[in-house]
Structure 1
């Protein structure tokens, strides 16, 4: 009896020591909180989390005893890109941008570079005034009330622009949200598969890569079905797929390599677009359910022999 009692006590002791190593199945696992510091004037981000920027005056005196404060009116930006089937949500958790000092921030639904926009001003369902929201802190008002600001993009690209003359800061939280019917796509990878689809709507959808690219149509269903073949010169069809390039973000009126329409499940030939920016634009009248699957990869010098468009330098 004594031996049995000792064995039972030993077993209880072993179980008690082992118990803390067993994880509670209902325990919440919190992922590590990321805070990234913005260091470049043009900062490109593709991850969720907090992005922080802080500027303090850097005043120096030159040899001629002239005070140099750099370029106080420089406009910088946090350029955000996510997966093709997502939109971007930005919450300004904090911003100290003094209106009276000339400070200004702006949310842009898309990207802006040198006065050109992605998606194109002509193709987006909102006007450029609706897509751009400017704001700053008016410290002349009293009492001071701190408000968070929330923005959501219409596609997988968004921009926070800021001009901070001397001193200021902000913290922006970035989140990605899945959507069912993506239209405009900013290419994030240098080699991947993408899909353009109008889902039966009257709208134009554009895929844009910020580099010279090789485009290959994997399969296509665009326009009226006459027979199972692809036409690469659909200049008169209201529903077609434009493949081309440009020096800037504006895809409307870009130089075109081909205008494609038709039906095919067979992969088409590769087209190398040697322009600063490559775009594929699906133009839809709303009469057809158009879609195209594409392979996009970055072009190099070995692709010159399949070049179908070379933009002037």
Structure 2
């Protein structure tokens, strides 16, 4: 039963009780008028925020943290563009094509990359990522399928695009989905506490940050390969590592064949 419907039933009960002279039972209830209106307002706000779609133009070099619908229209030949997307540590990025008007035969393309490409380095690295490098690219021109959605394996993704003709472009919808066990993370905040849990998996994971900060490891819980022993927990008080920031690069589209 929705909150708004419960509020309506409560007001109906209030009216009927008042007519019967039984409003004292309602007065003994801990529900207040302010609480009712706050519940109703929060429900309305929640429904509005759920239906509302954030929209804005996409720039040739862009970085986005919000869900929404983004449109790029070339005003001149744009041959070296990229957009970076980042979510919370426990989210993955979903990118869907809504409309595409490009000329693949002329050399236009739109490619989604599962991760980030920064200053010649890929995040996550080839060693840390669960799929091969070729599988991390989704090229629209390979299929021309608007219904195909690309989903990242971690909380970051990006698109590369080259468009030759003014007036051409595309529209994408970006959504964030919950990832209960994040493995590779880029943090978009300068401070905070983060916990990474990798249950029953033998895999490489990483944590990176886009600001120069100090990272203190508070506790490690390590398992043993080929062993039924319980994980070993170790507290490491005072262990601090200086983290070099990931600098935002000049945009360049990596060549899949050379990576």
Larger Rg: 1
Alignment equivalent of 2:71, drawn from 52, 57, 68: 52
CA distance in 2, matches of 1:55, 1:159: 18
Residue 263 of structure 1 aligns to a residue whose secondary structure is strand
Tell me the TM-score normalised to structure 1 length. Answer: 0.57
CA distance in 2, matches of 1:204, 1:172: 31
Partner of 1:122: 127
Instruction: State the 4+ residue runs in structure 1 displaced beyond 6 angstroms.
Output: none
Partner of 1:217: 217
CA distance in 2, matches of 1:43, 1:73: 13
Structure 2: unaligned runs, 5 residues or longer: 1-36, 226-231, 248-259
Residue deviations 1:59-93, cap 9 Å, x none? Answer: xxxxxxxxxxxxx4632111101011111111110
- How far is the alpha carbon of 1:165 from its aligned partner? 1.8
1:180 aligns with 2:180: yes
CA distance in 2, matches of 1:172, 1:108: 14
1:160 aligns with 2:159: yes
1:151 aligns with 2:150: yes
Residue 277 of structure 1 aligns to a residue whose secondary structure is coil
Q: How many residues align?
A: 200
Residue 194 of structure 2 aligns to a residue whose secondary structure is strand
Partner of 1:135: 140
Tell me the TM-score normalised to structure 2 length. Answer: 0.68
Residue 204 of structure 1 aligns to a residue whose secondary structure is coil
Residue 134 of structure 2 aligns to a residue whose secondary structure is helix
1:277 aligns with 2:240: no
CA distance in 1, matches of 2:198, 2:82: 30
Contact 1:221–1:264 under 8 Å retained in 2: yes
Higher strand residue share:
1
Instruction: State how 1:1-313 maps to structure 2 within 5 Å.
Output: 29-31=47-49, 32-39=52-59, 41-57=60-76, 72=77, 74-136=79-141, 147-167=146-166, 168-223=168-223, 263-265=233-235, 267-273=237-243, 275-277=244-246
CA distance in 2, matches of 1:149, 1:36: 22
How much is the aligned-residue C-alpha RMSD, in angstroms?
3.1
- How far is the alpha carbon of 1:189 from its aligned partner? 0.7
Contact 2:93–2:177 under 8 Å retained in 1: yes
Higher helix residue share:
2
- How far is the alpha carbon of 1:160 from its aligned partner? 1.3
Structure 1: unaligned runs, 5 residues or longer: 1-21, 58-71, 139-144, 225-236, 238-261, 279-313
